[in-house]
Chain A
Amino acid sequence: MDTKITILIVDDEASVRDSLYQWFVEDGYQVDSAESAKEALVRLESKDFDIVLADIKMPGMDGLEMLRRIKSLEKNPIVIIMTAFATVDTAVQALKDGAYDYITKPFDPDELSHLIRNASKQITLAAENDLLKEKIVSLENVEDLIGNSEAMRHLMQEISSIAQSNSSVIITGESGTGKELIARAIHANSSRKFFPLIIVHCGALTESLLESELFGHEKGAFTGAVYNRKGRFEMADCGTIFLDEIATIPPKMQIELLRVLETKTFMRVGGNKEISSDFRVICATNRDLKSMVDKGLFREDLYYRLNVITINVPPLRERTEDIPLLVEYFIKKYCHSMNKPTITIDAKALKRLEEFSFPGNIRELENMIERAIVVGDGKKIRLNDLPIGKESENSPFESLNDVEKKHIQFILNKYNWNISTSAKVLKVDRVTLYNKIKKYHLSPNKNQ
């Protein structure tokens, strides 16, 4: 046992206390004893015990009264009641008052061992459960939602108010803006946070797979259905289901989905039993669902069923003031995961990132930082470490002429100013190349 389970024995008979004490010590438990309920309550105030093993009949306060008082304490140890003459009434009363179990004296050695082992397991599980709940609660801070811009502050406010309701949510936004993260934040802030968040990437599944994935299937429903399988809606019971890329759902599935959202009941593929599930649905799309409805590509009734609340996640180019914070976050994240000391970014590189339009949004920025940490010198992220760094050394806003001039110079240098070869590579004739050299005043020495 890594952490010793502590047991308090409460019995007015010294022989019982001594025997139990010896028995538990030999079993590796930490044991203490008290000869009355009053003494036990005093001990419980000053020390934490995991299990209290108490006789029901004691002079003064009896075991049942002590049990009631223990249950009103802030600390809540498992209480097992010992009784010499078990009657159904006393046993039922003890269990009603919150006793974990009761045991009739004298006990079978095996019965006692099992009882204490099971109680210890429950204590360990309860401790693990508390730890997991703490971890979930820490998610409420939505640490991964980085940003201090007006747009982000507004978004966070929206999330915290939306999370409290049970309404369906559609999250819209360009690809890479972090729609899944928003869904996670809504779930983590909701009363459903201790239940599962089930994520389904609808676009990644074919129609038949999606049906089986969402509703589950019965054994033998189709070739390969070797076992009964729970669907995602069933798994999301009491929790949240996040349907990413909802716009890709085929029309037949749209009807099925609408039915499930309306009735919260469904049948597994190949099944004949209605299954009900209490879930909240959050969807995400990077497409304009309304215009899809207008074009008849998405069912209007489903759209209105889903679109109770809409959250629009702004693209990164509309909140460039968040870029330094995001960069700092990704540097820390990847340096940590790569076991490297945390590095910094130089001003030029950061400026370039702030000026870039990021069509791939945060995902693109994240990839850029990860790559820069891998290829960089391990001290600082510099302009050259960024894939958008090299072509922008002079100015991020170059004209077509500037780009053409640079490219011709590059090719000429590469082929040692061999005009014929360079013209061939550039797919122009020699005369045109001569004209360009003249136009841009290019010479063999330039930028060598």
Chain B
Amino acid sequence: MDHPVVHEVSARDGFLPIKTNAFDRGFIGVVFGIFLHLLWMRFLEQAIPLWVCTILTVLLGIYIVKRG
């Protein structure tokens, strides 16, 4: 009996502009998280500590993975 070598990865529609699977959404979350951290360090860190950004990034990452 033949076994399928390639498994279908389930892609879905969310608020992101492309169809994504879970790995895509995780990756996009990390990429945006890094971007936010860099912006925060440049413009906001003197007023608000960086761990606030980390918490926001984690929340944003969860939102992207769940709804993206």
**Bound together:** no
- Taking Cβ atoms with an 8 Å cutoff, the residues of B that contact A are none
